[in-house]
């Protein structure tokens, strides 16, 4: 699995936007970029994923660089409930791996300051 690099930790003030970066310089043309998060004492939770185009959903936005070597997860207004570890994960498309396994790194621990 291709590697991703994320900062160990970030802080944000409540109700401000948060930009969580991820570098994946060895990404292949068919790797999807997935983001999961893990709230304290809970299982991982899907946030968003994309391939080439920027993506929006109710939780966040994903901005993907034109060369796909980096991406940024954007939380538009951080709340205290967004305090979690955020994982950027590269995945093969379903027709390549078939099993959809996830390989987690150490992620970015986001602290939201009231």
Partner 1 sequence: EPEVTQTPSHQVTQMGQEVILRCVPISNHLYFYWYRQILGQKVEFLVSFYNNEISEKSEIFDDQFSVERPDGSNFTLKIRSTKLEDSAMYFCASSETGPSESTEAFFGQGTRLTVV
Q: Name the residue nearer to partner 1 (CB basis): 60 or 107.
A: 107
Q: Name the residue nearer to partner 1 (CB basis): 39 or 113.
A: 39
Distance CA 113, CA 89 (A): 26
Tell me which stretch binds partner 1 (CB under 8 A): 21-29, 35-43, 61-69, 70-78: 35-43
Q: How far is the CB of 16 from partner 1 (least distance, A)?
A: 27
Beta-bridge mates of residue 20: 73
- Is residue 104 within 8 Å of residue 86, measured between CB atoms? no
Please report whether residue 93 would count as binding partner 1 according to CB under 8 A: yes
Kind of pairing between the strands at 108-113 and 9-13: parallel
Distance CA 55, CA 48 (A): 8
In the chain the first and final C-alpha atoms are separated, in Å, by 37
Please report whether residue 107 would count as binding partner 1 according to CB under 8 A: yes
Number of other residues whose CB lies within 10 A of the CB of residue 20: 23
Build a one-symbol-per-residue string for 45-84: x at contacts with partner 1 by CB under 8 A, - elsewhere: xx--x-x---------------------------------
Interacting residues toward partner 1 by CB under 8 A: 32, 38, 42-46, 49, 51, 87, 91, 93-95, 98-107
């Amino acid at each position: 699995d291709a590697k991703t690099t994320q900062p160990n930790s970030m802080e944000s003030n409540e109700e401000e936007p948060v930009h969580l970066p991820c570098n994946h310089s060895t990404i292949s043309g068919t790797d999807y970029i997935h983001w999961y998060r893990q709230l304290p004492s809970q299982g991982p939770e899907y946030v968003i994923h994309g391939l080439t185009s920027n993506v929006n959903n109710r939780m966040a936005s994903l901005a993907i660089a034109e060369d796909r070597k980096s991406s940024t997860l954007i939380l538009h207004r951080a709340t205290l409930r967004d305090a979690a570890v955020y994982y950027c994960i590269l995945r093969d498309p379903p027709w390549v791996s078939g099993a959809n396994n996830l390989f987690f790194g150490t992620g970015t621990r986001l602290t939201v300051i009231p």
